[in-house]
Structure 1
Amino acid sequence: MKPFRKQFDALPSFPFAIDYREKKNYRTELTDHLHDWYELVYVHSGSGAFFIDRSFDEMREGDLFAIPGNTIHRAFPDKVDPVTSTAVFFSPILIQQTPLGEPFSYLRCFEQAQARRRFKLNTTPALRLEIESVVDRMHDELEAGIPGFRHSVTLLLHGLLLAIHRETSSLPEARAGGDIAPGWMQDILLYIDDHYCENIGLAELSARASVSPAHFSRLFKQLTGMNVTAFIATKRMIRAKELLLASDDGVGAIAAACGFESLPHFHRLFKRIVGTTPSAYRREASS
């Protein structure tokens, strides 16, 4: 199964979307998906599990997750007590990064989550009240559509990111997700992160985990929602997108550096996951 590229119905001048207080269903929840936009997920009620990049976490009332762009993730709502959550999506180009003489970034919570590979943030009662108030006001502004509503939502987003930074910067890192995944699975995901551009596959990974290929494949799919081949290919694709924007290397060189032996296969997979060709992606991003 390949990850789903989430689509946003938003104006280019206002790259923002919100899934407001949606009750998740394990039958209808999106498969593994990724997108260029940043995402905040706040849990209002219910329970479940969340797989993000290489981490597994429980989802409970009051939980907050900060997911940077181009990060594989999937929620697994509980069948009996499904999650009701709000997801706020935005492109980082919507965020004003004006230094103003002090070292501060509105995207700090995402930057720290990316560096730590831990995407669940500890929250305080005050922050939970602030999040619920802000997402309610965002929803009301979008529903009313009064002139200036996009500016209002953008200001609310900046205020929310500031509040998250202030409330979470002094808190300890959120604890890992308990017994959701065995230790060897965590180790394997770390190993894949370090070697996904190399020629690795099910046989090597299952041997490294000291479990049978069948058991490895079954549990990997159950916990991440993807098979090993698709997961590694998607990791390579994310890296290829980064290199397309950060270097002037040719598409063929980038495909080879990311572990793709065939340039036509790289083109087909890139278009399937990203929605455009590598060259077009580079042109669109630069413009």
Structure 2
Amino acid sequence: MNTYRKTFKFDAEFPFEYKYRDATSAQFELPNHVHDWYEFVYIYSGRGTFFIDHSFYDAEAGDIYLIPGNTIHHSYPVEDDPKRATAFYFSAAFVHDTSSVGEPFHYLQPFETAQSKQSFRFTVPEAYRNQIVDLIEQIHHEYSEEKVGYRQVIRMHIQHILLLLNRHAEETWGESLLRHQAAALPQWIEQTLSYIDSHLEEELGLAIFARNSAVTPAHFSRVFKRLTGMNVTEYVTAKRVMRAKEMLRLNDRNIAQIAEACGFGSIPHFHRKFKALTGMTPAQYKHSL
């Protein structure tokens, strides 16, 4: 299963979409996918598994998932008890506020915390959770009614949700906000996913992973694809492209240097894989920033 690039249809002045209290069966779930927008997910009920970046989570009622842009993720619902959730998708510009009003705070901080901690599932006390659910309902009402100023109200409610998450993180020093991944994974899979992240510039492949994990290549391949939804080559390529996007955004290296740093053997191969996953060449992507 190839990694899928999710795109959004939106007004350029209102970069926001959402799914409200949606219960999706496995056959209609998107495959492993990435997008540039930020994603907020609230679980009301049901069961399932999230695969985000290189972590697996058992979804439970009350869970909140914050998925930064350019993060590989996928959801696996349980057929006899599919999870019901609301998801918001928005660009960084949608919640950006240029006025700091004298304090070091920005609305994307919870996503940055999730990224830095490599833990994307959040849990908050009931009082915060009730406020967040109420704000979700208000967003849905505003979007449905489309009264004058509804876009501004939706943006303010999204900002309020992110403020509540950030405030709780500050109150608890981050200890009770983040919940770690499900522990039912084979240890060698966890170690391999971490190894890939830290060795993208090196030669990576099934034979290396199987040897490091002390399992046969056939067994490794079977378990890896069952858990991640991708074969080894697809996963490594997707991670390399995501790393390249980050480097294109954050540093001044040229495209050849970035290709080499991300483990691509040649510039044409880098261009081909980058465009297949992002819809743009590396140069076009850098120019769009």
Bin for the TM-score computed over the shorter chain: over 0.9
RMSD, aligned CA: 1.4
Select the residue among 211, 216, 219 that pairs with 1:212: 216
Question: Is the 8 Å Cα contact of residues 122 and 168 (structure 1) preserved in structure 2?
Answer: no
Question: Is the 8 Å Cα contact of residues 97 and 105 (structure 1) preserved in structure 2?
Answer: no
Report what 2:263 is aligned to. Answer: 259
- Where has structure 1 moved over 3 Å in runs of 4 or more? 177-180
Summarize the alignment of residues 117-196 of structure 1 with structure 2, pairs less than 5 Å apart.
117-169=118-170, 170=172, 171-196=175-200
Residues of 1 paired with 2:169 and 2:122: CA distance? 7
Residues of 2 paired with 1:244 and 1:175: CA distance? 31
Question: Is the 8 Å Cα contact of residues 251 and 278 (structure 1) preserved in structure 2?
Answer: yes
Alignment partner of 1:274 is 2:278: yes
Question: Is the 8 Å Cα contact of residues 62 and 123 (structure 2) preserved in structure 1?
Answer: no
Q: Secondary structure at the match of 2:58?
A: strand
Q: Secondary structure at the match of 1:27?
A: helix
Alignment partner of 1:20 is 2:14: no
Report what 1:38 is aligned to. Answer: 38
Q: Secondary structure at the match of 2:204?
A: coil
Q: What are the Cα deviations for residues 126-162 of structure 1, in whole angstroms up to 9, with x where unaligned?
A: 1221222111111111121112111111111111111
Question: Is the 8 Å Cα contact of residues 56 and 180 (structure 1) preserved in structure 2?
Answer: no
Report what 1:79 is aligned to. Answer: 79
Q: What are the Cα deviations for residues 182-241 of structure 1, in whole angstroms up to 9, with x where unaligned?
A: 111111111111102211111011111111111111111111111111111111101111
Report what 2:288 is aligned to. Answer: 284
Q: What are the Cα deviations for residues 107-133 of structure 1, in whole angstroms up to 9, with x where unaligned?
A: 121111101100011221112212221
Residue 63 of structure 1 aligns with an amino acid whose one-letter code is D
Residues of 2 paired with 1:130 and 1:275: CA distance? 38
Shift of 1:166: 1.7
Indicate how the Cα distance of structure 1 residues 284 and 175 shifts in structure 2: closer, same or farther if over 3 A, else same: closer
Question: Is the 8 Å Cα contact of residues 4 and 273 (structure 1) preserved in structure 2?
Answer: yes
Alignment partner of 1:47 is 2:42: no
Residues of 1 paired with 2:29 and 2:103: CA distance? 41
Shift of 1:262: 2.1
Q: Secondary structure at the match of 1:281?
A: helix
Q: Secondary structure at the match of 2:26?
A: coil
Residues of 1 paired with 2:283 and 2:200: CA distance? 23
What residue ranges of structure 1 are gaps of 5+ in the alignment?
none
Residues of 1 paired with 2:252 and 2:112: CA distance? 25
Residues of 2 paired with 1:104 and 1:249: CA distance? 30
Residue 13 of structure 1 aligns with an amino acid whose one-letter code is E
What residue ranges of structure 2 are gaps of 5+ in the alignment?
none
Question: Is the 8 Å Cα contact of residues 46 and 83 (structure 1) preserved in structure 2?
Answer: yes
Q: Secondary structure at the match of 2:234?
A: helix
TM-score norm. by structure 1 comes to: 0.95
Tell me the percent identity: 42
Question: Is the 8 Å Cα contact of residues 97 and 106 (structure 1) preserved in structure 2?
Answer: no
